Amino acid sequence: MDSSTRAVSREYSTLMTVADNLPYAVMILVGATVIALGLKLSCWAWIAAGAYVAYGIAGALWIIVFVCPYCPSYGQRSCPCGYGIISAKLRAKGDTALFGQKFRQHIPVIAPLWIIPLIIGGVVAVKSFSWPLAMLLGVFVLNSFVILPLRSKSHDCRHCPQRKDCPWMKG
């Protein structure tokens, strides 16, 4: 049995799946808080923060619908984030040879989730510095650009059957 076959047979518990989704959830919640605080907790700030959370949820659903059907973990507990199980309930399985192409094609849809809080928080922090906003931006950067990618590459990606063809691992 080769390593990609072993990777597909690895099963993740519900607790492991929750742990694998925590950095993304933290990114969305802290990003929304940065937006709300950056926009001075006004009515528009709460609307913008709520829209960001909705975008984060929609982004995950987008990946589930348009990328996950092409993964060998589709419909199995071998998907660390659990998206493969959800995807199987929504879409038919796709050709796994297209995974890299689908990944590259659809990841730009969610990339702004990493940028929007930085822009809003950064502009506001430069115009009128505040320690709470600066600390939240620090937490956002640490989680989104260090913890989330390290968690993915060292744990999730290490066991992924698509790791050799994945643009995320190559980049």
State the pLDDT at residue 13: 84
For residue range 12-50, list pLDDT tens digits in order: 888 888 888 899 999 999 999 999 998 887 899 999 999
Splitting the chain (171 residues) into consecutive groups of 10 residues, what average pLDDT does each group show?
A: 46 85 95 93 92 97 95 86 91 91 92 95 91 95 92 64 59 51
- The pTM assigned to this predicted structure is 0.84
Residue 97's alpha-carbon distances to 71, 81, 124, 130, 152, in angstroms, are: 9, 21, 44, 49, 21
Domain boundaries along the sequence of the chain: 3-165
State the pLDDT at residue 5: 40
State the pLDDT at residue 160: 61
State the pLDDT at residue 46: 94
Q: How crowded is residue 42: how many other Cβ atoms within 10 Å of its Cβ?
A: 10
Question: Phi/psi of residue 8, each to 5°?
Answer: -70, -30
State the pLDDT at residue 166: 60
